[in-house]
Amino acid sequence: MASGVTVNEEVIKVFNDMKVRKSSSSDEVKKRKKAVLFCLSDDKKKIIVEEGKQILVGDIGESVDDPYACFVKLLPLNDCRYGLYDATYETKESKKEDLVFVFWAPEGAPLKSKMIYASSKDAIKKKFTGIKHEWQVNGLDDIQDRTTLADKLGGNVVVSLEGRPL
């Protein structure tokens, strides 16, 4: 069931910037988003970029020690969100980077919020072409342990996530 919610152009721009890894200067790389949250606008008609809910690549090692733990802390405990997380991981064969689309619907979120986010998910997913990994998360227990994300990315072939062994 579609909700009639539309996706703001800024959301699409953020996705495209995260998806395309152009060869860029180190200053440009630092400004690239590692993770970002999207929410519904106040009138519940648009999916927008949530102000101040992002991690930049340049923050890692500066104000952010562990980007994955920092991403988990951005998620509100009592409302739904969509998120994009640019996961860096290693398998036994190679280093990889993949975007993960996260649909956060914690048990403490209001039922109405869960319903509108669930029915609007296809609108945002259609704009995010080429996403290989989608993850619906219903609480901190599902997301706090990084091995759960590693399983989504490739199961037991993943040996490290964000430079940390599993």
State the DSSP string of 73-142: HHS-TTS-EEEEEEEEEEESS-EEEEEEEEEE--TTS-HHHHHHHHHHHHHHHHHSTT--EEEEE-SHHH
Q: How confident is the model at residue 87 (pLDDT cuts 50, 70, 90)?
A: very high
Strand partners, 97: 88
pLDDT in tens, 109-166: 999 999 999 999 999 999 999 999 999 999 999 999 999 999 999 988 999 999 999 8
Across residues 28-57, what is the average pLDDT?
A: 94
CA-to-CA distance for 134 and 65, rounded, in angstroms? 25
Q: Which fold has domain 6-165?
A: Severin (3.40.20)
When comparing pLDDT for 20 and 147, which is higher?
147
Q: Where are the domains of the chain?
A: 6-165
